[in-house]
Structure 1
C-alpha cells in the first residue's frame, strides 16, 4: 500500500482528494464502480462515496442509473473549453503537431507556462506500440525537461532568478539533481542550437527534444516537445527529431501571429 500523502498546512486535503477522484478516470477513458474507485484511491468507502456524490451533484461526475458506475461528466468541459483554445493556440497547433508526429513517429505536444509549471494544451500521440503519451492537462514543474527549459528561455533575468530561488527548496529539483547551474547550461544550449533536451525527469523511462515557439516580438509563448522512450533516444533520431520540433514551433508561431494580429 502506498504511504499516506502529507498535506502542508496551506493545502486542503479534501480538495486534493476530490481532484484525485477526477484524475482517476484518465481523462474520461474509463468508468468505475464505487468499489473500484475506493481501491484506486486507497480511501475508505464512506469517504470515496461522499466525494463521488459531491462531484456528481456539482456536475463533474455522472453516475449510470443502470449499473451505478461513475464516469467523468461532460460538465467538466465547461471548466476548460474556452481555456484550451485561448487565442486559438491549441486548434492551430494540431496540424503542425500531426505533421511532426508523422515525420518522427513519436508523440508531439505543445506546452505553455502557468506560473512555475508547464502544461500540455494539445497532443498528437505516437502510433507505435511502445510510446510515451503526454495527455492534455498534464502538469509538471517548469524547470523539468527540455520543453520546460524552452519556456524558461523566454524569461528576463529577474524572473529567471526568482525561478532559481524557488527551485532551491522545491522537492522535484532535489529528486532529479536539478540546480541553477544545470538550468543555465540548458538555456545556453537552447540559445546556441534552438532546441533543448532532457531524459527521465517527467517519467523515468522517457526522453525528448523540444523547441521554443516565438511570437513576432521574439517572445516565447509555447514549447513544442517530441517525447519518446529512452530506448529510441539516440544520436540518429535526435538529429531528425530536433529539426522537426524547430519547424513545428516556427510554423505555429507564424500562424499564431497571423490570427492574433
Structure 2
C-alpha cells in the first residue's frame, strides 16, 4: 500500500473537496514506490480503489499525458506530464535557488552529500542534492524518497513541526511500524531531545547501517518547513566528527540560507 495519512473519522467532510481528483492523484502516487510499471489490478490493490474506477482513471490520465501504456507488458508507467510538473516545482523553488551555492560550498568543504528535502506523507523527498566531485560520497538524486522516522531529514522535520501535527504524524508512523514501534519511539524521542539541546538530529546507521547523517529543519519565509541534511559513509564520516563539528556547521548553514529570505 502507498503511504496514507488518515483524517479523524469525526472530521466533517469538506464540500470543496473533489473526490474524483483525489482518486486520480492516488493512482499517480501508486507509481512512487517499487516497480515503475503497474497494471490496473496492481493499482487497485495499492490504492484500495475498485478496479473499474482505476480503469477509468488510468485511461483518463493516459489521455492527458500523465501515464503511458506499455503494450508489451500491458501495464502503465508515468509519462512526461508528471515530469513537467515536478520539474516546474523544483525549478521555481526559491529556497533551492538561493541555497544551492551555499550547499555546494559546504559539500565541497566537508566532503559530504548535502540535501534539501521536503515532506510527502511519511517520506522526505530530495529536491536538491550537492556532492563534491570525485569523492566517495552518497549519491542522492532529486526525487529520492527517504523514510520520515529513521532519517536525519525526517527527524529534523518532525522535531520542528507543531505539536499537534507531530503527534498525528507519529501516530501514523507507529501504526506503520507495528512491533518495531517501541524501539523506534525511544530513538525518535532521543532525536527530539538532541534537537532541543543542539538544534540538529542525527541518524547513525538507523536508516542505512553504513551511513551517518545530520539533519536540521529549514524554516521558510512562508512558514513552511523543509530539512537540510549532510551525510556520508561511516568510514568517511565518523560519529564523533559529525556530532562535534559538522552537525553544528550544518545548523549555521541552515541559518545562513534562512537569512537570504528563502
- Scaled to the shorter chain, the TM-score interval is 0.5 to 0.7
Residues paired across the two proteins, number: 214
2:107 to 86, 101, 104: 101
Question: In 2, are the aligned partners of 1:212 and 1:220 still within 8 Å (CA)?
Answer: no
1:155 to 152, 161, 167: 161
Question: In 1, are the aligned partners of 2:214 and 2:242 still within 8 Å (CA)?
Answer: no
1:227 to 218, 226, 231: 231
Query: Structure 1: 5+ residue runs without aligned partners?
Result: 1-5, 24-53, 63-71
Question: In 1, are the aligned partners of 2:213 and 2:242 still within 8 Å (CA)?
Answer: no
Query: Structure 2: 5+ residue runs without aligned partners?
Result: 4-22, 38-58, 69-77
Question: In 1, are the aligned partners of 2:95 and 2:220 still within 8 Å (CA)?
Answer: no
Task: Provide the residue aligned with 1:124 in structure 2.
Answer: 130
1:189 to 175, 189, 194: 194
User: TM-score, normalized by length of structure 1?
Assistant: 0.66
Aligned pairs for 1:160-239 within 5 A: 160-171=166-177, 174=180, 177-179=183-185, 181-215=186-220, 221-234=225-238, 235-239=240-244
- What is the distance in 1 between the residues matched to 2:105 and 2:211? 21
SS of the residue aligned with 1:126?
coil
CA RMSD of aligned residues (A): 3.9
- What is the distance in 2 between the residues matched to 1:250 and 1:164? 26
SS of the residue aligned with 1:204?
coil
Question: In 2, are the aligned partners of 1:104 and 1:244 still within 8 Å (CA)?
Answer: no
